[in-house]
Structure 1
Amino acid sequence: MKKILFIIPCVPYPLNSGGNQAFFQMVDYIRHKISVSVLFYAWTVDEAKRVEKLEDLWGDVDFYTFVKETKEGPDSPLVRNPFYYKWLKKLKTSIERKMRRQLLSTSNGTVDLLKDKDFVREKSVLPNSVYKEFDTRYIDYVTKVAHTGFDIIQVEFYELIALGYVLPQNVQTIFVHHELRYIRNENEMNLFQAIWPSDRMNFLIAKDFEWNALQKYKHIIALTEVDRLLLANFLGREDHIYASPAVIKFESNSETEFIPCVHRRFTFVGYGEHFPNLDAVVWLCKEIVPYLRECNFEFTLQVVGMGYERYSAELRTACPEIELVGFVENLTSFLQGSIALVPIRIGSGMRMKILDIVSSNVPFITTSKGLEGIHFSHGVDCLIADNTIDFADAMIKLSNDLELQKMLVYQANDKMKNMYNPQEMLDRRLSVYTSILKDEF
């Protein structure tokens, strides 16, 4: 049996996000066709323990887990007086915290989201888009594992793109580009209050790095046809670039009743630590909500997902209508009776949240960027609005038109069934591997 190694920068468990579910479904299918191994990067010992859950589910998968030590261990430097050294570390942490409080704005998450006119710059990934040195122990670990006889090695997410430089040359290597970084950088720069010469320099340096790093892989997978075409243009070639969407297996929604939104209840789904989601929520609170108030439009807004805790006071002050719900056990049940909002302005790739929304029989309003790569149409399957006033007007319009809500839900469902069959998507990914290895599984 052919052997494949997946290398990812996290432990994708529990299955509380679209990305985690997509990875789970892919491995759960592929492991019956190919011998699968997975190399995780765990930031903490507690995170590494989640691998045990996957081991229970996948007895035929081999797991390799690198743990970034957060406590003193055998590799820690020797110190003269451990107790004094520990006290100095605590003192250092306290001083750094006090220093951060003195800053009007910082890039570490304490920026005033609603008052800072250029908060996108403060949170931008642009400065971190060039190569950042890995932990040398991690590179040694990846190199050792990668040279143990795999037919395919697949690396996922931009954070690990530089690993292509250390993978063996006699193996079919794949990079899965979940979000084209140079596209995200362009999106973010378009939202800066002003673009400085240093921004342009950093953008071009990062773009060159991304281009060169991609050359180290023999094959590239994009999640959408839009991204595949962008990559073909970016790299100047069509060969060995594939479109293969991530997959979430949905429960049959044939028994899921459509519940119209009659109480002006809006929902947003997204992990707050992913900046495009945070930007969407801030755009809602900072620009769209004030316009709704001018229209005397009363509503509630529920944000589903973790990662907003540090901003809760600011968001609630700016938008008393907001409720930070956190994680919900049954997303389909929770979303019903609401109108879902997808006001995404940054990034590329596939918005798995839209597929969750459609499968829940919920109407939605999105931006063109949020819908990128999914072939839904304005007024047919959803409403699309790309500026503040249009988005707010769409919220008012859809909440007042129950028949439009129903039409959009049923037509989006029909289209999703025709264009996005999970089994077909899994088979498409397998066909990529078959093509690469020129073999049948």
Structure 2
Amino acid sequence: ACEIAIDLQIEHPHLSKLYNFALSRKEKADNDLALQDHYKKLQEFPENPELYLELGKALVEQNRIDNAIIFYQMALQIQPDYAEIYFEMGNALKAQENFFQAIECYRKAIEIRPDYCWYYNGLGDILKSTLDFDEAINAYRKAIELESNFAGFNHNLEAALKEKERIDSIKDFCQDFSHPRKSKIEDGQSLKILMVTSYPPYPPNSGAPMRMFEEIKYLGSRHHLVVVSFIFSEEDYAIETELANYCDRAIMTMLGAPYSARNPNDPKQIYRWHTWNMRKILEELRIIDFDVVLFDFIYLASYVDLFADTYTVLQEHNIESNLLQQCALASKETSNLEEIAADVDAVKAFLDADKEAKLLQDYEKRNWPKFDLVTLVSESDRKQLEERCPKAKTLVVENGTDTIGITPVNNTQARKMLFMGNLAYYPNIDGVMFFVEEILPKIWEQDPELVFCVAGRDPGKQIQELAKDPRIEVVASPKDMSEVAKDCMMSVVPLRLGSGTRLKVLHSMAMGLPVISTSLGCEGLLVTEEVDIAIGDDPQKFADGVVKMSRDGDFRDQLRLNGLELVKNKYDWKSIFSNFEKKLLSM
């Protein structure tokens, strides 16, 4: 019905059908007296366009936008030159991400009533969302001309001018960077590489940012590297400066408006990450003759079409649909996922996990073959991908750690257990709560003086409230995890959900902390139980392992030293990315 309604050339014979369809929905408003009143007035005065307008606005407030558009369209059948109806329909279409149709509605409103400032402001807002800054600036200036005393119009104009300046600076960079560059390596020609990430690689204080940052450091030191990342706060534009020493150019962009209305066959995260902001920036960067384009995470696959003539690599940190499947099973056993999501925005990605996992499986299978290469972090992930998508070309590029920059700790007097990780990430939240609720009481039965330290970025209310117990510490967003680790005796990894491999295991070993983990927590790593790691898959065994490690200094030292040796020999970032570089150079 909505698709019919938004066709501005609708024929009158359809009107009664739409009217009946819309009125058939009124049973949904039985408990809304205001809507009931709107319907009654409309039935009494069906030729009054004002009533259609007011009902449409009331429906929009209830997020019933399809029905609102129907009533707006019916009002236009009665009074085709009603500017305010076009304006409100533009607002409704914009809310549905039908941007081009919304723009036409705003323009029609202005055509009918060219002396009303708010219509120009509405047009400016949507043009700015689609990064048509020249037209947006003209619209805002017209709004100011009509109403110079409203500060909001000036604010919108300043924002548009500022964003246009950012895009213009990117255009200037592209012109300069498209020229030949001097090689940074003695034994060959440096590549021109574009790296696109779904969230910022700095600061490197949790798993994925650590990996991305280390890759930027290595490739940027030997090749001509441009990094483009989504950010979620205006303050994070400062990351461009932080990364300036590691690459030729870092470009941060806010998420912005979705590029199109959501395809019901695509996962919600694909829809969320395909935006006007990123697409515009990548379109500008296409004038550079990149040798390689690296995309981190399947959620950026919607941009691969922009680089059809370039060697493209999808860098999968996890098989994301596997992770969603695990969360779907876990959510059936726990009832607080929605509560956590209300507190921690990032957890919303795991809502509706069962449905989303199935959609993402199909999306992965369709899109993996579009890349010239797909990298995985473990052999187990690689085997799963190849079983599901035999056409995809794959390569394992393991996770690693900084074996040179991290100074190992060895506090023999420490009495703390450390869990570290991104505390806005649902598998980590689940792991912490599993440890606190099911493992920690069993530990305290045997050793009530052991302290549990939870350290990581962006802890939500549920994690922060754990600190009400004096034996639990929560360290929010530490600048240096080694400073936290120096007061700890071991690292615990009680994860029940996850894919890929966990950098927290390797990072803990590099810091000199012995590790006890679930099997899933150390999955995909070349570890040996009781040699370089302790493993406990049920709460009692995990608790017993913690107590043993706290009491047995020789066992603790054995795991500590063997863990250090393991990461130095097999999981050094420089060695890992050097091998990956050879693949890129031989493509």
TM-score, length-normalised on structure 1?
0.76
> Is 2:525 aligned against 1:374?
yes
The CA deviation at 1:292 is: 3.1
> Is 2:554 aligned against 1:413?
no
Take 1:32 and 1:203, find their aligned partners in 2: how far apart are those partners? 38
The CA deviation at 1:201 is: 4.7
Corresponding residue for residue 303 of structure 1: 454
Corresponding residue for residue 427 of structure 1: 578
CA contact (8 A) 2:324 2:354 kept: no
Q: What pairs up with 1:192-341 in 2 under 5 angstroms?
A: 192-193=331-332, 200-237=354-391, 240-251=393-404, 256=408, 258-260=410-412, 262=413, 264-295=415-446, 297-312=448-463, 314-317=465-468, 319-336=469-486, 337-341=488-492
> Is 2:395 aligned against 1:395?
no
More helix, by proportion: 2
CA contact (8 A) 1:346 1:369 kept: yes
Further displaced range: 1-10 or 358-367: 1-10
Take 1:66 and 1:312, find their aligned partners in 2: how far apart are those partners? 30
Q: What pairs up with 1:120-159 in 2 under 5 angstroms?
A: 128=268, 131-132=271-272, 134-159=274-299
> Is 2:175 aligned against 1:175?
no
Shift in alpha-carbon separation, 1:370–1:146, aligned structure 2, 3 A: farther
Corresponding residue for residue 85 of structure 1: none
The CA deviation at 1:268 is: 0.8
The CA deviation at 1:331 is: 2.6
Give the one of 211, 227, 230 matched to 1:38. Answer: 227
SS in 2 for 1:346: coil
Further displaced range: 345-354 or 414-423: 414-423
Aligned AA for 2:471? E
Shift in alpha-carbon separation, 1:272–1:424, aligned structure 2, 3 A: same
SS in 1 for 2:586: helix
Take 2:467 and 2:221, find their aligned partners in 1: how far apart are those partners? 48
CA contact (8 A) 2:255 2:273 kept: no
SS in 2 for 1:417: helix
The CA deviation at 1:343 is: 0.9
CA contact (8 A) 2:429 2:463 kept: no
CA contact (8 A) 2:218 2:574 kept: no
Deviations 1:205-228 (A, max 9, x none): 221012112222121011222222
Aligned AA for 1:349? G
The CA deviation at 1:352 is: 1.4
TM-score, length-normalised on structure 2?
0.58
Matched length: 372
The CA deviation at 1:263 is: 5.2
Corresponding residue for residue 51 of structure 1: 240
Aligned AA for 2:191? K
Shift in alpha-carbon separation, 1:330–1:203, aligned structure 2, 3 A: closer
Corresponding residue for residue 201 of structure 2: 12
Take 1:37 and 1:249, find their aligned partners in 2: how far apart are those partners? 23
Shift in alpha-carbon separation, 1:369–1:178, aligned structure 2, 3 A: same
Take 2:559 and 2:250, find their aligned partners in 1: how far apart are those partners? 43
CA contact (8 A) 1:15 1:21 kept: yes
Corresponding residue for residue 252 of structure 2: 65
Shift in alpha-carbon separation, 1:157–1:411, aligned structure 2, 3 A: same
The CA deviation at 1:298 is: 3.4
Take 2:277 and 2:569, find their aligned partners in 1: how far apart are those partners? 47
Take 1:211 and 1:346, find their aligned partners in 2: how far apart are those partners? 22
Q: What runs of 5+ residues in structure 1 fail to find an aligned partner?
A: 71-125, 437-441
CA contact (8 A) 1:258 1:406 kept: no
Deviations 1:254-278 (A, max 9, x none): x746333x55421111111111111
Give the one of 9, 29, 45 matched to 2:218. Answer: 29
SS in 1 for 2:307: coil
Give the one of 341, 344, 350 matched to 2:501. Answer: 350
The CA deviation at 1:314 is: 3.8
CA contact (8 A) 2:442 2:543 kept: yes
Take 1:43 and 1:146, find their aligned partners in 2: how far apart are those partners? 24
Aligned AA for 2:254? V
SS in 2 for 1:31: helix
> Is 2:314 aligned against 1:162?
no
Deviations 1:369-420 (A, max 9, x none): 1112211111111111112222112112211111110111112222222222
> Is 2:337 aligned against 1:185?
no
**RMSD, matched Cα:** 2.7
CA contact (8 A) 1:45 1:69 kept: no
The CA deviation at 1:333 is: 4.3
Take 1:404 and 1:155, find their aligned partners in 2: how far apart are those partners? 42
The CA deviation at 1:303 is: 0.8
What is the identity percentage for the equivalent residue pairs of Structure 1 and Structure 2? 22
Shift in alpha-carbon separation, 1:369–1:132, aligned structure 2, 3 A: same
Higher-RCO chain (CA-CA 8 Å, sequence separation at least 6): 1
CA contact (8 A) 1:23 1:246 kept: no
Take 1:390 and 1:139, find their aligned partners in 2: how far apart are those partners? 50
SS in 2 for 1:248: coil
The CA deviation at 1:68 is: 4.3
Deviations 1:319-355 (A, max 9, x none): 5421101233443343134111011121212211112
SS in 1 for 2:332: coil
Q: Which has the larger radius of gyration?
A: 2
Take 2:484 and 2:252, find their aligned partners in 1: how far apart are those partners? 35
CA contact (8 A) 1:242 1:432 kept: no
Take 2:382 and 2:521, find their aligned partners in 1: how far apart are those partners? 17
The CA deviation at 1:135 is: 2.5
CA contact (8 A) 1:43 1:69 kept: no
Q: Name segments (4+ residues, structure 1) moved above 6 Å.
A: none
Take 1:257 and 1:27, find their aligned partners in 2: how far apart are those partners? 27
Take 2:296 and 2:508, find their aligned partners in 1: how far apart are those partners? 25
Q: What runs of 5+ residues in structure 2 fail to find an aligned partner?
A: 1-189, 258-265, 335-351
